[in-house]
Amino acid sequence: MKHSSECTCEQSLVETLSGFSAQHPESVIYQTSLMSALLSGVYEGSTTIAELFTHGNFGLGTFNGLDGEMIAFSDEIHQLRSDGSARVVSPDQKTPFAVVTQFVPQYRVKIDEPMSREALHAIIDEQIPSDNVFCALRIDGLFRHAHTRTVPRQTPPYRAMTDVLDDQPIFRFNQRDGVLVGFRTPQHMQGLNVAGYHEHFITDDRQGGGHLLDYQLERGVLTFGEIHKLTIDFPADKAFLNANLHPDDLDAAIRSVES
């Protein structure tokens, strides 16, 4: 562990994993479709989970029909559904929108005291101050609280995502061990992806979780790294080709559905 001479006490908690990342190939974010397409109701994709996993085993997204939240890490991939259930995903399930990478953390921070979501994000923002690159992050630990929601499964004709929000159930987990998987996406990527922090959570018994609205960590380990490359597969189906992917209220709509 090496520190620059002017580093503060807080910074010294951050362990640089340069040796680790040097052994790994360059990280790439892979995503299928666009957030703006999901927002406008393009809920059926042709990408299978098996295909998705050829691009990375770490990430988040949803399933065809907007059937719950996806969380993937360490070769585990789960579906968190609006009835509160969770299940292991099968390789032939399909996704209309997902973001994955091969997670290569460059930094590791041990958290020994309760810390808010904002404070955890501040640690990442201090290490990777430029908002022009992607970050991937993972937290393993005991969460003092974690508030999640899961999108409810839709049936055709599909409504825009902003219209299905009222139906989404919210779950509250208190003093639960779990895993958080997330990305920090540059503001200039709003619409292609979700700008800012986007995080999903699953409990250690793999029975519950979802898209995180808020959380506080009791203690745990934060790992994160920056990513400089993005690959996007555009759908070719009629719903995507006919969707309006640049509505006037795009930024506000994404903030309303994803924060």
Nearest distance, CB of residue 16 and Zn ion, angstroms: 29
Give Rg (Cα) of the chain: 18
Q: Does 211 bind Zn ion (CB under 5 A)?
A: yes
Ramachandran assignment for 99, one of left (phi > 0), alpha (psi -120 to 50 degrees), beta (any other): beta
Residue 27 vs 148, nearer CB to Zn ion: 148
Nearest distance, CB of residue 123 and Zn ion, angstroms: 21
Cα–Cα distance between 70 and 61 in angstroms, integer? Answer: 5
- Could you tell me which residues are beta bridge partners of residue 198? 183
Cα–Cα distance between 199 and 32 in angstroms, integer? Answer: 17
Compose the 166-205 pattern: x for residues touching Zn ion by CB under 5 A, - for all others.
Answer: ----------------------------------------
Nearest distance, CB of residue 92 and Zn ion, angstroms: 22
- Provide the CA 210 distance to its chain's centre, in angstroms: 10
Cα–Cα distance between 12 and 205 in angstroms, integer? Answer: 33
Range in contact with Zn ion (rule: CB under 5 A) among 3-11, 49-57, 111-119, 208-216: 208-216
Closest CA to 103 of 40, 56, 69, 42: 56
Amino acid at position 117, single letter: R
Position of minimal CB gap to Zn ion: 211
Contact 161, 182 (CB under 8 A): no
Residue 107 vs 134, nearer CB to Zn ion: 134
Nearest distance, CB of residue 106 and Zn ion, angstroms: 24
Residue 106 vs 203, nearer CB to Zn ion: 203
Q: Does 153 bind Zn ion (CB under 5 A)?
A: no
Nearest distance, CB of residue 141 and Zn ion, angstroms: 20
Site residues (CB under 5 A) for Zn ion?
211
